[in-house]
């Protein structure tokens, strides 16, 4: 069986200023896979995600999303994004969990459209899927970091994306909540067949869930099965300079 490729990265290179950050990256992501992206600090992981999300343009090469050239691609609701919460959201903002998750539909609906019952059902379903129903009308700022992060997943999945991209989503989340976070990702993959791409410095947790791994260091130095990566990682891929660990 030939698996469908949801993302194809063809020979892309990128630099911010003088220094090349990504050099001739070639990568294909099959539908339904969970791809863990690892590498030392400054190795270009977040930059790669920004290129896939169209927030940056490659200097060379091209990216295909669902087989379509990224420059022509308009169906961005098919791709959800969860970043490190602290960077992306002012938690003093007086919105409820329901409202935050509803904001994940505004791309689809337009900012000032009224929510129809169908949309309300979709919002409630997404909140249920991350186990936050009892907090639906609580203010986001009154929740713990782990609970907030679950709400941000609900916001990212409410438009039913086929790909979910996560950039260090578990930073500042305690071990117990990290576990339930991975459980949510697993159920999304199993129930919705969603494709997951995730950057994390919590390598062991990531490797226990991801089925494929990319080790990035300006170039793709490894791309393959997680088990194969685990068997050779100590010898070939140094992660010692990561956040001092
Ligand atoms: N907006 C920017 N302008 C200029 N240089 C940048 C910018 N963002 C990142 N860089 C540089 O590009 C390189 C890659 O950064 P990137 O954030 O992609 O790495 P990373 O692998 O995600 O790092 P970390 O593991 O530390 O989060 C780094 O050297 C960084 O300093």
What CATH number should be reported for the domain holding residue 117?
Answer: 3.40.50.300
Q: Which of 42, 86, 217, 221 to mutate to test the pocket of ligand 1 (most atoms within 8 A of CB)?
A: 42
Distance 203 CA to ligand 1 centre (A): 19
**241 inside domain:** no
CA within 13 Å, CB half, 185: 31
Q: Say what the ipTM of the complex is.
A: 0.97
- Looking at residue 223, the DSSP 8-state letter turns out to be E
Partners of 10 in the beta sheet?
62
> What's the domain range around 184?
5-235
Q: Per-residue pLDDT tens for 202-232?
A: 888 899 999 999 999 999 999 999 999 988 8
**46 inside domain:** yes
Distance 45 CA to ligand 1 centre (A): 8
**Cα 1 to the center of its chain, rounded Å:** 27
pLDDT value at residue 54: 94
Q: How many domains does the chain have?
A: 1
**245 inside domain:** no
Q: Per-residue pLDDT tens for 135-190?
A: 999 999 888 888 888 899 899 999 889 999 999 988 877 777 788 888 888 988 88
- The whole model's pTM is what? 0.88
Distance 47 CA to ligand 1 centre (A): 6
């Amino acid at each position: 069986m030939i698996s469908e490729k949801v993302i194809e990265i063809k020979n892309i290179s990128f630099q911010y200023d003088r220094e090349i950050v990504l050099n001739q990256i070639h990568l294909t992501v099959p539908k339904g896979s969970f791809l863990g992206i690892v590498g030392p600090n400054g190795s270009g992981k977040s930059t790669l995600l920004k290129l896939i999300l169209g927030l940056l343009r490659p200097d060379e090469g091209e990216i295909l999303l669902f087989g379509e050239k990224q420059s022509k691609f308009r169906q961005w609701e098919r791709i959800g994004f969860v970043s490190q919460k602290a960077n992306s959201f002012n938690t003093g903002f007086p919105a409820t969990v329901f409202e935050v998750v509803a904001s994940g539909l505004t791309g689809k609906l337009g900012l000032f459209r009224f929510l129809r019952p169908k949309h309300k059902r979709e919002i409630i379903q997404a909140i249920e899927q991350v186990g936050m129903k009892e907090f639906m009308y609580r203010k986001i700022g009154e929740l713990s970091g782990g609970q907030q992060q679950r709400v941000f997943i609900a916001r990212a999945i409410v438009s039913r994306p086929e790909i979910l991209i996560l950039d260090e989503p578990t930073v500042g989340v305690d071990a117990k909540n990290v576990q339930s976070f991975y459980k949510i990702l697993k159920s999304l993959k199993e129930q919705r067949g969603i494709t997951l791409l995730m950057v994390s410095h919590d390598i062991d947790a990531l490797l226990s869930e991801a089925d494929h791994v990319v080790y990035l260091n300006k170039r793709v130095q490894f791309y393959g099965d997680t088990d194969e990566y685990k068997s050779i990682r100590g010898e070939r891929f140094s992660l010692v300079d990561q956040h001092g660990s």
